[in-house]
Amino acid sequence: MKPQNKFQKRILDASKSLPCITDTEMEWAYENCVEHIGRRTKKGITCLDCGHLFEGDSELGDKLSKCVCPFCSAELKVVNTLQRVFRQFEYMCIVTTKFDFQVLRFFYITAYFKAGQKAQYTIDEVVQRWIAADGKNVVIAKLKSMNFYSDKWNFGSTLEIRRDKNNKYDIIPACIYPLQSFIPELRRNGYNGDFQGISPSDLFVALLTENRAETLFKTGQTDALKYCILRGFQYVDNYWASMKICIRNSYDITDTSVWCDYIDLLRFFGKDIHNAKYVCPTDLKTEHDRYLRKKKEWEGREERERVIKKILEDTARFNELKAKFFGIRFSDKLIQVRVLESVEEIMQEGDAMHHCVFTNEYHLKPDTLILSACISGKRVETVELSLTSLKVLQSRGACNQKTKYHNKIVKLVEKNIHLIQKRLAA
């Protein structure tokens, strides 16, 4: 896309003057961003970095999980397998500055391993995000395939200004190069070189545009900051006064989504949400569950009938908001995930999983899509997905706990985001 204004033209000109990635940076990327494998068979361990075979414990059931190659000194993850070819794809980010811009440069790393041969690596710069001191930013990137998979790049295309629709070019890298430089405004706003597990572009834009992000970052409220970035800071307007009480009392909000639900329950019962006694519970989960039970008891039998009546009233609104996503389902052979397609299903999900997905009306939030993850027909976790950022906001099992399948469920949903994007674009 051609630059549309002076701001974009200035950035495109500055982009052309960025230096190429150095040999030192490439070597660091190959060493730190890619998993190095030792392939163990009955013959010994083959280092897939240098291709040499060396003696190792020949028992395939051995518990040895790591070793160091005696030929190239690579630290290897030992894998018992007869597979001979391995491929890996990862991203590295270089954090730098150019003129008065903060620049994030993302490189796509391809690693090809074959037993008995030396590893082959390639590295391509695919995205640059240029961020001004006021948070205004521009994406310069190579062309990305419309099937929405993160590794489908057109490497023959040139780095051009792109529209970042649906956060298509928002990348969370596997590693960040340790030598970094920052514009003064980021240092002023508290950034110290630690991304705290947050997307670099999301964190920088938030720190430069939102005072509350600066406050949360400087006070170490990392989970609350992640939640605000995912949800949007306007969403936490109703919770900000209570968050400030937590900050003043050095209370760390470690599970912000549950804490916000808890504040909603306190508000429902008319409790003082500006009082540290309530908003800083010693055991958040216990207090959350206690008030949730209290709310359900308050509803009672007659209230339950009102809820059923409300289901009928909510159905038209629910269908208007979510009908385009009905029928979406996907699986990885073990876990099956599907969109919940009625208000009654949402209620049943909340009752079965003992959480507040129905009680707190998640189904009527325009930005939220609710999915259910099951194994062999049994509910495992309930997934809340943002339709704005197309990211998983939370995934909860029974009683708001994360199950042992949590990471697999989140990755499975992220892998199939394109199904939801297609419905959004329809």
Which pLDDT tens digit goes with each residue over 175-207? 999 999 999 999 999 888 888 888 889 999 999
What would the mean pLDDT of 233-238 be, rounded to a whole number? 90
Which has more confidence, 254 or 63? 254
Q: Are residues 247 and 149 in the same domain?
A: no
Rounded to the nearest integer, the mean pLDDT of the chain is: 90
Task: Say whether pLDDT at 66 is over 70.
Answer: yes
In a domain, 160, yes or no: yes
- Domain end: 279, 301, 332, which one? 279
Residues 217 and 116 in one domain: no
What span, in angstroms and rounded, lies between the C-alpha atoms of 177 and 174? 10
Q: Tell me the C-alpha distance between 387 and 133, whole Å.
A: 28
**Same domain, yes or no, for 100 and 55?**
yes
Domain boundary among the residues 176, 192, 218 is at: 176
The CATH number for 404's domain is 3.40.630.30
Spatial separation of the C-alpha atoms in residues 370 and 344, rounded to whole Å: 13
Taking the C-alpha atoms of residue 373 and residue 385, their distance in angstroms, rounded to an integer, is: 13
Spatial contact of 159 and 141, defined as CB atoms under 8 Å apart: yes
Q: Could you list the residue range(s) of the whole structural domain that residue 274 is in?
A: 210-279
| Share of residues in the chain with pLDDT > 70 (%) | 96
Number of domains in the chain: 3
Say if 312 falls within a structural domain. no
Q: What is the pLDDT averaged over residues 112-132?
A: 95
pTM, rounded to two decimals:
0.71
**Is residue 166 predicted with pLDDT exceeding 90?**
no
Number of neighbouring beta carbons within 10 Å of residue 377: 6
Domain boundary pick from 246, 279, 312: 279
Q: How confident is the model at residue 61 (pLDDT cuts 50, 70, 90)?
A: very low
Q: Inform me whether the pLDDT recorded for 145 exceeds 80.
A: no
Clarify whether residues 267 and 357 are in a common domain.
Answer: no
Q: Report whether pLDDT(28) > 90.
A: yes
pLDDT at position 57, please? 56
Q: Which phi and psi angles does 36 have, rounded to 5°?
A: -100, 130
367 and 237 inside one domain:
no
Q: Dihedral of CA 289/294/298/300: which sign?
A: positive
> Any idea which residue has 């079965």 for tokens?
352
Q: What residues are paired with 373 via a beta bridge?
A: 337, 381
Tokens representing 293 are 């039970």
24 and 153 fall within a common domain = yes
* Vertex 125: Cα angle to 120 and 131 (nearest 5): 150
What confidence tier does 296 reach under pLDDT thresholds 50, 70, 90?
confident
Same domain membership, residue 24 and residue 146: yes
Q: Domain for residue 193, yes or no? A: no
pLDDT at 60 (0 to 100): 43
Band of residue 109 on the pLDDT scale cut at 50, 70, 90: very high
Asked whether residue 138 is domain-assigned, the answer is yes
Task: State the average pLDDT over residues 326-343.
Answer: 93
Q: Are residues 151 and 22 in the same domain?
A: yes
Report pLDDT for 62: 55
Query: Rounded mean pLDDT of 71-79?
Result: 92
pLDDT at 150 over 60: no
Structural domain includes residue 284 = no
Task: Please state the rounded mean pLDDT for residues 395-402.
Answer: 93
Same domain, 163 and 61: yes
Contact at 8 Å (CB) between 295 and 288? no
262 plus 334 within the same structural domain: no
In a domain, 73, yes or no: yes
Residue 201 resides in a domain:
no
273 and 230 co-located in one domain: yes
Q: What angle do CA 220, 223, 228 make, to 5 degrees?
A: 105
* pLDDT tens, residue by residue, 236-288: 899 999 999 999 999 999 999 999 999 999 999 999 999 999 999 999 999 99
pLDDT top residue among 363 and 306: 363
Domain match, 247 and 153 both: no
Query: Is 189 among the domain residues?
Result: no
In SS3 terms, the chain reads as CCCCCHHHHHHHHHHCCCCCCCHHHHHHHHHHCCCCEEEEECCEEEECCCCCEECCCCCCCCCCCEEECCCCCCEEEEEECCCCEEEEEEEEEEEEEECCEEEEEEEEEEEEEECCCCCEEEEEEEEEEEECCCCCEEEEECCECCCCCCCCECCCCCCEEECCHHHCCCCCCCEECCCCCCCHHHHHCCCCCCCCCCCHHHHHHHHHHCHHHHHHHHCCCHHHHHHHHHHCHHHHHHCHHHHHHHHHCCCCCCCHHHHHHHHHHHHHCCCCCCCHHHHCCCCHHHHHHHHHHHHHHHHHHHHHHHHHHHHHHHHHHHHHHHHHHCCCEEECCCCEEEECCCHHHHHHHHHHHCCCCCCCCHHHCCCEEEEEEEECCEEEEEEEEECCCCCEEEEECHHHCCCCCHHHHHHHHHHCHHHHHHHHHC
